[in-house]
Amino acid sequence: MRIGVLTSGGDAPGMNACIRAVVRAALASGDQVFGIYDGYRGLVEGKLVEFTRKDVSEILNYGGTILGTARLPEFQYEAVRKLAVDQLKKYDIDALVCIGGDGTYTGALRLHEMGIKTIGVPGTIDNDIASSDYTIGFSTALNTACEAIDKLRDTSSSHQRCSIIEVMGRHCGDLALYSGICCGAEYIITNETGLDKEKLLKSLKENRLNGRRHAIVVISENITDVYQLAKEVESYSGYECRATILGYIQRGGNPTPEDRLLAARLGKYAVDLLHEGTSGVAVGVVDNKLKATPIEEALTMVSEPNVELNKLVQKIS
Give the separation between CA 169 and CA 306, rounded to whole angstroms: 15
C-beta closer to ligand ADP: residue 206 or 297: 297
CB of 145 to ligand ADP, least distance (A): 18
Is 126 annotated in the active site?
Answer: yes
Site for ligand ADP in 224-243 (CB under 6 A): none
Strand partners, 171: none
Closest-approach residue to ligand ADP (CB): 103
Q: Which residues pair with 49 in a beta bridge?
A: 35
**Contact between 106 and ligand ADP per CB under 6 A:** yes
- Annotate each residue in 243-282 with x if it binds ligand ADP (CB under 6 A) or - if it does not, as one string: ----------------------------------------
| Residue 28: CB atoms within 10 Å | 11
Integer distance in angstroms from the first to the last C-alpha of the chain? Answer: 53
Rule CB under 6 A: is residue 40 a binding residue for ligand ADP?
yes
**68 near ligand ADP, judged by CB under 6 A:** no
Which has the closest alpha carbon to 34: 21, 47, 45?
47
Q: Which amino acid is at 183?
A: C
Strands laid side by side in the 161-167 sheet: 187-189, 215-220, 161-167, 240-245
Of 69-77, 131-139, 228-236, 271-279, which segment contacts ligand ADP by CB under 6 A? 69-77
CA 63/CA 259 separation, integer angstroms: 11
Element (H, E) at 299: helix 295-300
Binding mask 109-138 for ligand ADP (x = CB under 6 A): -x-------------x--------------
Angstrom CA distances, 114 to 18, 79, 81, 162, stand at 25, 11, 9, 54
Of 72, 125, 176, 188, the one binding ligand ADP (CB under 6 A) is 72
Footprint of ligand ADP (CB under 6 A): 8-10, 40, 71-73, 75-76, 100-104, 106-107, 110, 124
Residues designated as active site: 126
